[in-house]
Every structure is written in structure tokens, then in C-alpha cells.
Amino acid sequence: MREYAKVNRIVSEFMNLFDDYEINKYQMELSIAADKQSTSVIKFDGKKANLPHSFVDQLNELNAKRQPEIEYCYEDLLGIRNDTFNTEILAAAIDYVTFDVTETGFQIYIERVYH
């Protein structure tokens, strides 16, 4: 699968998560790796007061170990389920996540190495 399609799926999953938490104001910065020596980077900067702890819990789950073997069936796995935010499958396609959630908003930084 092409890298941009994988990154697109990750972005889509985050947009679904934001919709679940009624987060309607966020900005995204995106850089898609062009080759195997590059890294794709996704940054979200959002505004939403009083995000529940479950939002932070789901972000914490994304720091699970990446599972490159899932890359080939990633789209199929996501395509057969509903639009809920599945952190296990998404974490399997992400190498690194950091985030900061405050009283008034959040920042999320995501990296995945081109494979």
C-alpha cells in the first residue's frame, strides 16, 4: 500500500475520534514520506475545553509497539468495522506518538517510518 494511503487512513481515524468527542476546531500539519529514508509526520492542534479522561486513555494506547506485519491487511481490517476509533489497529501502523491535553485544547504529534 502506498504511504500516502496509510497516512490518509491514520488522519481519517483521528478525524473520527475528534468527531466522537465533538471536537470541531483543530488544525493539521502533514508531511508524507517520499521514500524509505523519510518519516511521515502528522500534527494536530485542537481546541476543546474539558476533554474527558477517556480521550487521554485512547491517546496513551497509541504508544503500543508498531506491528509492520499488519500493514498488508490494515485497510481490510479497518474497512470491515464501523467508524469507532480502534487504537489497537491504529497503533500497529504508528511508530511514535506524543500528545499534550490541557484545559483548553490538545496537541498530537505522530510519526511513522516509511516501510
DSSP-assigned letters across all residues of 34-51: -STT-EEEEEEEEE-SS-
- 508531511: which residue's cell? 31
Compute the distance between CA of residue 65 and CA of residue 102 in angstroms, rounded to an integer.
26
Residue 78 has what pLDDT?
A: 57
The pLDDT value given to residue 73: 67
Low-confidence residues of the chain: pLDDT under 70: 1, 71-85
Task: Kindly report each contact of residues 4-12 with a partner whose C-beta sits within 8 Å and lies 24 or more positions away, as own/partner.
Answer: 4/32, 5/75, 6/40, 6/71, 6/74, 6/93, 6/112, 7/32, 7/40, 7/42, 7/112, 9/74, 9/75, 9/78, 9/93, 10/42, 10/90, 10/93, 10/94, 10/110, 10/112, 11/42
Q: Taking every pair of C-alpha atoms in the chain, what is the biggest distance, in angstroms?
A: 40
- Burial environment of residue 63 by CB neighbours within 10 A (0 to 12, 13 to 18, 19 or more): middle
Q: What's residue 113's pLDDT? A: 86
What per-residue confidence (pLDDT) applies to 84? 57
